[in-house]
Each structure stands twice: as structure tokens, then as C-alpha cells.
Amino acid sequence: MNFIYALNFKMNKTATETKEYMQKFDSQNRTVIICAPFTSIFEIKNNHKDALIGAQNVSEFTSGAHTGEIDAKMLADLGVKYCIVGHSERRKFNHETDEQIAEKIARLVEQNITPILCVGEPNKMAFEESSKFVENQIKLALKNVQSPVIVAYEPVWAIGTGDVPTNEQIENMCEFIHKCLNELNIQAKVLYGGSYNSKNYKTINNAKFVDGFLIGGAGLKLDEMELIYKG
Ligand code: PEP
């Protein structure tokens, strides 16, 4: 299966550390998107000409009086092709709302950057409830979108905890997300994210309706990812 692997470095790796990582990086002909901190983006491009460059955030505004913000045009100018939006850590710690997330997605699309929209229920709950929660997040974030997107299903309770859903739970939600996006007429790839690593990838890779993975902790380690890329 030709999976997409989107690596979320979060607030890890200095520019020097990213340079070292990229000099040893071998995607083994896999589709790997490196979502590095803003300060490291130029090191992805400079040290690996074929790497797919992602960012982890973007301003909902275009250029102007927004101190400390980075707009979509600045990302596009650096060669960024993908950007994570609505990660649960930003929803929680930066109080990002669905309205802001929709604006960020609009700014990215204007610059031909593919959004990687993160959705997922905050706690373990029954499918009837979690699917409503996720559907609402999708509808609010993508209300003005017609172009292709990537949606990452990340149950918040699985991120960084080692507590992963069963394949059946992943399949049910990813199938549901594909259905929602079809109804909205949006072309999309659906990723799974949450404690995916070299110990559980063989099992999770068998889940149906999954086009790839959004990976946090494991993505920081080249040796762990090499095992995963081999399949
Ligand atoms: C994430 O933060 O998007 C994530 C999936 O993290 P981890 O793989 O560490 O659970």
C-alpha cells in the first residue's frame, strides 16, 4: 500500500538538528511529508531536494500588522506544500476555534498549499457520539473548500499516550470521514494519527480506509521510521 507518512516534529529539533536528520533521511521511495518548526523549514529543502515540505501552523491573516505570525504566502515562498491545521494541541493550548481553522485553510488553499486538517474526539466515547463530533469539526473547517485536502483522524486520547484504538475503531471512523468528504464533494486522503510507531505499525497498516499516517514521537527517530517505511 502506498501510504502517506506525515511527520509532525511539533516543537522539536533545532535547525541544526533538522539539518543532521535531513542529511541522513531516506524516504525509501515513500511519500513522506516533513512538518518541521518554521525555523527548520529551510533545512529540509537545503539538505534533501526531494523531501516534501510541511508546516505545522499558519496565520489566518494575510500580511500586515500581526506580530509573530507567519502567513501562507511566506510558507509557499519557502516551498511548503502541506500544512497541519487544527492539531488538538493548538486547539487546546492556543484556543484555536473551528472558525479560525476554516480561515487558515482558506489562506492555505489560496497559496496552493494542501491543508492537513486534524480532527478527533477528545475522550473515549461511543461511535455515535465521536462520529458526530468529528463530522461537526469537518463541516466547520471545510465549509468553503472545494480543493483536495488531507484529513488526519487523531483521537486526542491516543496522541502521545501509547493507547491506540482497535483497527475496527480506526476503520469505522476513517470510512465515516471518507463518506462525509464525499458528501461535501471534497477529494481527500484520510490519515490515522495517535501513537503510531515501530511496535504497532504492522497491525495498524492493515486497517481499511486509511491512506497514511500522521506521526509525532516516532517521526523524530530516523531508525524507527526506516523500519516503518520498509513496511
Ligand atoms: C500527533 O501529535 O499528531 C501525533 C500523532 O503524535 P504521536 O504520534 O506522538 O502520538
Query: What is the per-residue pLDDT across 210-231, written as a single tens digit (0 to 9) for each?
Result: 999 999 999 999 999 999 999 8
Non-local CB neighbours of 208 within 8 Å, separated by 6+ positions? 171, 174, 175
**Centroid of ligand 1 to alpha carbon of 94 (angstroms):** 17
pLDDT over threshold 90, residue 80: yes
By annotation, the residues acting in catalysis are 87, 154
Non-local CB neighbours of 227 within 8 Å, separated by 6+ positions? 198, 201
**Which grid cell is 221?**
527517530
Round the average pLDDT of the chain to a whole number and report it: 97
Residues contacting ligand 1 via CB (< 6 Å) = 8, 154, 159-160, 193-196, 214-218
| pLDDT for the residue 231 | 87
Q: Phi/psi of residue 44, each to 5°?
A: -65, -55
Average pLDDT of 91-104?
A: 97
Instruction: Report the atom number in ligand 1 closest to the C-alpha of 219.
Output: 8
pLDDT over threshold 90, residue 49: no
Whole-model pTM: value is 0.97
Give CA–CA dist 91/86, Å, rounded. 6
Report the nearest-CA residue for atom 6 of ligand 1. 216
**Centroid of ligand 1 to alpha carbon of 217 (angstroms):** 6
**Centroid of ligand 1 to alpha carbon of 128 (angstroms):** 24
Residue 205, by phi and psi: left (phi above 0), alpha (psi -120 to 50) or beta? alpha
